[in-house]
Every structure is written in structure tokens, then in C-alpha cells.
Amino acid sequence: MSSLEYKLSGIHKISLGIGYDFINSLKLYEDNTATNWSVFTFDLRQKSEPIQEIRSRGLRFNIGYSFGL
């Protein structure tokens, strides 16, 4: 991602960015609504299979503002 930052009066900063995602992959897993409390929310012994996988590519934009004291 290419970005540009501009400082205004030393405490304000505006940043802009643009880029291209060649590969973007998102995997969706089934939501387990069990009420049991545990440190790990998934079984470490079993490999979970996603219920859906989304692959895409495209443009990415980023606009930001920060204020420093």
C-alpha cells in the first residue's frame, strides 16, 4: 500500500493510502454457541473445516486523522 502523510501545525496529521490486493482470502467457520468456558474456544486436536471460503482481489483505500498532544 502506498501512503502519504501530511502534518498540519505540528499536532494534526492526515494520512491517505491506496493499494491493490492481489489475493484476499476469508474463511468462515461455524459459530459454536456452547456456554462452556475454556481457554481455547476450539478443539486443538481436530482440524476445523471452514463452512465457506471467500477469495477476492481489488483496491484498498485508507484515510486517517490523528491528533497528538
- What pLDDT sits at residue 23? 87
Give the Cα separation of 57 and 22 in Å (integer). 5
Q: Longest C-alpha distance within the chain, in Å?
A: 56
39 in any annotated domain = no
- The pLDDT of residue 65: 95
Looking at the structure of the chain, the number of domains it has is 1
Residue 10 lies in a domain: yes
Q: Residue 3's Cα: distance from chain center in Å?
A: 17
Q: How far apart are CA 34 and CA 49, in angstroms?
A: 18
Which domain range does residue 54 map to? Answer: 2-31+46-67
In a domain, 36, yes or no: no
What digits encode the pLDDT tens for the residues 10-68?
Answer: 889 999 999 998 888 888 877 666 555 666 666 666 667 888 899 989 999 999 999 98
How much is the pLDDT for 43? 63
Evaluate if residue 3 carries a pLDDT over 80: yes
Residue 41 lies in a domain: no
pTM: 0.50
Task: Give the pLDDT confidence score for residue 66 in this predicted structure.
Answer: 93
